């Protein structure tokens, strides 16, 4: 490798030094002089009218400074939390968008909906006093599951949203699909549930509001993946604070996985309350509060049908999905089950006709929004389960059936029937690499060996494609996004040649401080320790959209490249002046600025110094300084894709599923830091395996109480639940439309894993006649499935 800290090097992470020694600074680690603590009073009912709040006793409790309610916010003209995406129903009508106030005003709509906030000197005092706030509730019947909420006569979550239907949307060509089904030799059908999950970043959400009376400036420090978006939404829509008086800082953030993209009511409350009580106000969620209030993920119920000809060629796909939105529309909620889901239903296949219908439903549960992968895992799971069913029913080998239907690499760029245009990808190659990795041919022997030990064995595939690098703005706008989706960067060379890069992306575990610095090191030959990456503070960084949807490198990194292009152009001018050469003769070689055909050369450090000490600059032609900014709005999404293969062993006596082998082959385009990329894949895989085997967010269907409200009940995958992984990637299909050729790797593992695991589980159980099992495949579910399908054995 030419540059040991450049592109392609597994540079060890620079941020680790502080994390490993306990010097990370997460929001809850920050304390301000005079700081107070906020604790929320939350509804114990899924649905209730609030008929009165008596805070008199709480106000008398030790240390209490204020008890504030929705009425106080209303009096201060605080608005509702805006939704960032608008969807239209089939009939052209806009989605129903009932207001979502930071603190409920007259009705609580899920268990955990905030009803009041207590502010006290210490967290313990605030907690004690919160118990003393007397709220009169009139309990109302709740609509808990999406299916029941849609039934006639179901309780209404919002009085003015008839039938609890937020929107009834569709995509694709229904007539073409109907025609294809009429011709089909075989139709595979599947009903499936993609269960609700709790994202569970290990750092609970926290927010610290401050107000400076001297300057009139508000500061919010918060656990966010995109501080500028929070500033925009909270400033413009909720609190009405102009942007120059509102600073949002997201310091070290302990994981997000989507759950920290959204603007939450607590952020608005502490910012507003800090001015009201005249002191800093901090709120930190307890884990049980996170379960009740962090936006949940997934929660789809679907029916899918795949039409095939006699040879197993896919003719058409028809999908009907019901998506649970929870009680209110979270920031990006409507985009998830529509444009981030249905547009990916083509998968890796050249199915000519696709039609998808999606009904989004309000229920008395926590709002649902993006969780790692966001819509794409749901699409991958549906299509890959359906293909597996089709393989079983037609008797065509499941690898072969996939291969037969892949969009060939030669057909790229490929326009799918559901809006997207894939730029590059070689799907057969992913499969070719994966099969020997898992010794597919040796499976039968391993299965026989398992059988000798009384165990069942199965192998399952998942091939996936995702649309990442979210943007372009014009497309996003056409699809209903209310914001642009570009990214920004500023590359500032200092007089002595060190560099600060300001990025609109946000790092909450992805290692940007290392990867982004590698880009600069590669380009200008600057030692990596001389490059500083600054993110997460609206007072420092240019306006940016933050980190989600594997967009940081593809969009944020490309913005850095664009800013570096400008720096290079400027540096060439300065070099030409310094070397008394024509600007056109200056070229950059190994990070040095050289006069073509000579040995006259300058380092970027020489040039930077001159830029800030322009004693002999022709100042009418050459401006001092070496500091450039760029915004980058891509032309298309990027399309990471891959093939994941999982092998499981099941103990039929206990129903316990063990993942015994897992291989992931991915095409992420160009890879900047292999170490970090592989780490992202590992983490993603375990979240996918977690959904397949363990995780499930369960509400009581009548009362709407959250049953899985802590780590005692919600099963998080632990070290002894999962295996080590075989991970491979190839780089010969770079993205064609961003300057780095990168595609994104953050969500891939999660998208592929659940389908691969479930396909393996069902394959193992197929000898009992099991054709489908809903996630999670817990021991009880697996055991029941075995018993249900073998009544003779169950009777023994």
Partner 1 sequence: MPCTVSMTVNGKAVSREVEERTLLVTFLRDQLGLTGTHVGCDTSQCGACVVHIDGRSVKSCTMLAAQADGAAVTTIEGLAAADGTLHPMQAAFREHHGLQCGFCTPGMVMSAVDLVTANPSLSEHDVREGLEGNICRCTGYHNIVKAVMAGAEAMQGGTMKAAAE
Q: Shortest gap between Cβ of 711 and ligand FES (angstroms)?
A: 8
Q: How far is CA 460 from CA 204, 451, 741, in A?
A: 35, 18, 30
Pick between residue 155 and residue 255 the one whose CB is nearest to ligand FES. 255
160 binding partner 1? (CB under 8 A): no
686 binding partner 1? (CB under 8 A): yes
Pairing of strands 592-595, 601-603: antiparallel
Choices 103-111, 147-155, 283-291, 697-705 (CB under 8 A): range interacting with partner 1:
283-291
Q: Shortest gap between Cβ of 250 and partner 1 (angstroms)?
A: 12
202 binding ligand FES? (CB under 6 A): yes
Q: Return d(Cα 742, Cα 424) in angstroms, integer.
A: 11
Decide: 71 and 105 in contact? Cβ < 8 Å. yes
Please select the residue that binds ligand FES; options are 255, 614, 723, 739, rule is CB under 6 A.
255
Sign of CA dihedral 121, 127, 128, 133: positive
Pick between residue 440 and residue 725 the one whose CB is nearest to ligand FES. 725
Decide: 605 and 496 in contact? Cβ < 8 Å. yes
Pick between residue 299 and residue 678 the one whose CB is nearest to partner 1. 678
Q: Shortest gap between Cβ of 203 and ligand FES (angstroms)?
A: 8
Of residues 25 through 84, those in contact with partner 1 by CB under 8 A are 25-26, 28-29, 31
Kindly determine how many residues on this chain lie close enough to bind ligand FES according to the rule CB under 6 A.
4
603 binding partner 1? (CB under 8 A): no
| Residue 20 site contact among ligand FES, partner 1, none (CB < 5 to 8 Å, cut-off depends on kind) | partner 1
Pick between residue 537 and residue 678 the one whose CB is nearest to partner 1. 678
Pick between residue 144 and residue 206 the one whose CB is nearest to partner 1. 206
Pick between residue 370 and residue 407 the one whose CB is nearest to partner 1. 370
Q: Return d(Cα 6, Cα 627) in angstroms, integer.
A: 21
| Residue 712 site contact among ligand FES, partner 1, none (CB < 5 to 8 Å, cut-off depends on kind) | partner 1
Q: Shortest gap between Cβ of 508 and ligand FES (angstroms)?
A: 9
Total residues belonging to the chain? 796
Please select the residue that binds partner 1; options are 163, 255, 352, 739, rule is CB under 8 A.
255
687 binding partner 1? (CB under 8 A): yes
456 beta partners: 650
| Strands in 206-245 per DSSP E | 206-212, 217-222
Q: What is the DSSP string of 686-716?
A: HHHHHHHHT----B-TTT--BS--STTTS--
171 beta partners: 356
Pick between residue 279 and residue 508 the one whose CB is nearest to ligand FES. 508
Tokens standing for residue 354: 């696709």
Tokens standing for residue 776: 């999670």
Q: Would you call 629 exposed, middle or buried from its count of C-beta atoms within 10 A (0-12, 13-18, 19+)?
A: middle
Choices 50-58, 62-70, 174-182, 503-511 (CB under 8 A): range interacting with partner 1:
503-511
Pick between residue 14 and residue 781 the one whose CB is nearest to partner 1. 14
509 binding ligand FES? (CB under 6 A): yes
719 binding partner 1? (CB under 8 A): yes
Decide: 550 and 506 in contact? Cβ < 8 Å. no
- CA proximity to 284, closest of 123, 150, 167: 123
Give me the 185-214 binding string for partner 1, x by CB under 8 A, dash otherwise.
---------------xxxxx----------
Q: Return d(Cα 226, Cα 219) in angstroms, integer.
A: 15
Q: Shortest gap between Cβ of 110 and ligand FES (angstroms)?
A: 25
Give me the 120-139 binding string for partner 1, x by CB under 8 A, dash otherwise.
----x---------------
Number of alpha helices (DSSP H) and beta strands (DSSP E) in the chain: 21, 28
Prior bond to 154 cis, omega within 30? Answer: no
Q: Return d(Cα 299, Cα 318) in angstroms, integer.
A: 19
| DSSP 8-state secondary structure symbol assigned to residue 776 | P
Contacts of 256 (CB under 8 A, 6+ apart): 199, 201, 223, 225, 508, 509, 547, 548
Decide: 664 and 685 in contact? Cβ < 8 Å. yes
| Residue 549 site contact among ligand FES, partner 1, none (CB < 5 to 8 Å, cut-off depends on kind) | none
Choices 134-142, 252-260, 592-600, 695-703 (CB under 8 A): range interacting with partner 1:
252-260
Give me the 510-549 binding string for partner 1, x by CB under 8 A, dash otherwise.
xx--------------------------------------
Q: Would you call 35 exposed, middle or buried from its count of C-beta atoms within 10 A (0-12, 13-18, 19+)?
A: middle
Q: Return d(Cα 340, Cα 143) in angstroms, integer.
A: 26
Please select the residue that binds partner 1; options are 1, 21, 33, 75, rule is CB under 8 A.
21
- The helix or strand, by DSSP H or E, that contains position 292, with its residue range, turns out to be helix 287-293
Please select the residue that binds partner 1; options are 97, 113, 210, 252, rule is CB under 8 A.
252
Pick between residue 497 and residue 683 the one whose CB is nearest to partner 1. 683
Binding site for partner 1 (CB under 8 A): 10, 12-13, 15-26, 28-29, 31, 124, 200-204, 252-255, 257, 286-288, 508-511, 675-676, 678-687, 710-712, 716, 718-720, 722, 724-725, 749
| Site residues for ligand FES per CB under 6 A | 202, 254-255, 509
């Amino acid at each position: 490798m030419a540059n040991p800290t450049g592109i392609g090097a597994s540079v060890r992470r620079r941020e680790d030094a502080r994390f490993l020694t306990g010097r990370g600074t997460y929001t809850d680690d920050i304390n301000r002089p005079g700081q107070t603590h906020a604790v929320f009073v939350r509804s114990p009912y899924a649905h209730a009218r609030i008929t009165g709040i008596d805070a008199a006793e709480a106000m008398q409790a030790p240390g209490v400074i204020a008890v504030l309610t929705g009425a106080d916010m209303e009096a201060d003209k605080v608005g509702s939390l805006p939704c960032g995406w608008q969807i239209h129903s089939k009939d052209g009508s806009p989605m129903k968008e009932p207001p979502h106030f930071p603190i409920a005003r007259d009705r609580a709509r899920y268990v955990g909906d905030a009803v009041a906030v207590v502010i006290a000197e210490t967290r313990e005092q605030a907690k004690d006093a919160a118990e003393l706030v007397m709220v009169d509730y009139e309990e109302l019947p709740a609509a808990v599951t999406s299916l029941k909420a849609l039934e006639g006569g179901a309780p209404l979550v919002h009085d003015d949203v008839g039938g609890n239907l937020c929107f009834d949307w569709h995509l694709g060509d229904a007539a073409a699909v109907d025609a294809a089904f009429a011709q089909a030799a075989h139709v595979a059908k599947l009903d499936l549930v993609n269960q609700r999950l709790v994202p569970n970043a290990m750092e609970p959400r926290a927010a610290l509001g401050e107000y400076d009376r001297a300057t009139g400036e508000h500061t919010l420090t918060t656990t966010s993946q995109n501080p500028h978006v929070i500033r925009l939404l909270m400033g413009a829509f909720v609190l009405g604070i102009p942007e120059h008086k509102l600073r949002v800082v997201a310091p070290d953030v302990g994981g997000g996985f989507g759950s920290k993209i959204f603007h939450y009511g607590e952020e608005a409350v502490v910012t507003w309350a800090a001015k009201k009580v005249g002191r800093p106000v901090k709120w930190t969620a307890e884990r049980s509060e996170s379960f009740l209030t962090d936006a949940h993920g997934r929660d789809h119920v679907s029916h899918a049908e795949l039409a095939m000809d006699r040879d197993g060629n896919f003719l058409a796909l028809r999908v009907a999905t019901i998506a649970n939105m929870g009680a209110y529309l979270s920031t990006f909620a409507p985009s998830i089950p529509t444009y981030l889901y249905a547009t990916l239903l083509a998968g890796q296949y050249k199915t000519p006709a696709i039609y998808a219908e999606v009904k989004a439903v309000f229920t008395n549960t926590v709002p649902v929004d993006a969780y790692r992968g966001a819509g794409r895992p749901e699409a991958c799971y549906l299509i890959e389960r359906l293909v597996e069913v089709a393989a079983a029913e037609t008797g065509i080998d499941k690898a072969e059936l996939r291969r037969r239907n892949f969009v060939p690499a030669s057909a790229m760029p490929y326009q799918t029937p559901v809006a997207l245009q894939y730029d590059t990808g070689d799907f057969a190659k992913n499969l070719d690499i994966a099969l020997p990795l898992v010794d597919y041919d040796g499976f039968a022997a391993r299965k026989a060996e398992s059988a000798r030990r009384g165990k069942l064995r199965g192998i399952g595939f998942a091939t996936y494609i995702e649309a990442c690098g979210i943007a372009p703005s014009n497309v996003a706008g056409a699809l209903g996004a209310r914001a642009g989706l570009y990214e920004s960067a500023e590359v500032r060379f200092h007089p002595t040649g060190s560099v600060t890069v300001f990025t609109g992306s946000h790092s909450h575990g992805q290692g940007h401080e290392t990867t982004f610095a590698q880009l600069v090191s590669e380009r200008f030959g600057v030692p990596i320790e001389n490059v500083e990456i600054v993110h997460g503070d609206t007072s420092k960084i240019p306006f940016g959209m933050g980190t989600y949807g594997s967009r940081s490198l593809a969009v944020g990194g490309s913005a850095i490249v664009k800013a570096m292009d400008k720096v290079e152009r400027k540096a060439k001018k300065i070099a030409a002046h310094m070397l008394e050469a024509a600007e056109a003769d200056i070229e950059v070689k190994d990070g040095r600025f050289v006069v073509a055909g000579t040995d006259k050369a300058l380092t970027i450090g020489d040039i930077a110094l001159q830029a800030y000490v322009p004693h002999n600059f022709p100042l009418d032609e050459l401006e001092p300084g070496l500091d450039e900014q760029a915004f980058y709005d891509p032309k298309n999404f990027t399309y990471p894709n891959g093939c994941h293969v999982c092998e499981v062993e099941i103990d039929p006596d206990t129903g316990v599923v063990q993942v015994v082998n897992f291989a992931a082959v991915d095409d992420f385009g160009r890879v900047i830091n292999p170490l970090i990329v592989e780490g992202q894949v590992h983490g993603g895989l375990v979240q996918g395996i977690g959904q397949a085997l363990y995780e499930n967010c369960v509400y009581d269907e009548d009362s709407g109480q959250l049953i899985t409200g802590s780590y005692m009940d919600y099963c998080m995958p632990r070290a002894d639940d999962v295996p080590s992984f075989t991970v491979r990637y190839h780089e010969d299909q770079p993205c064609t439309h961003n300057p780095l050729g990168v595609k994104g790797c953050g969500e891939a593992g999660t998208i592929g894993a659940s389908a691969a695991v479930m396909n393996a589980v069902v394959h193992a159980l197929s000898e009992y006649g099991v054709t489908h099992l809903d996630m999670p495949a817990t021991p009880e579910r697996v055991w029941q499935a075995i018993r249900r399908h073998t009544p003779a054995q169950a009777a023994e």
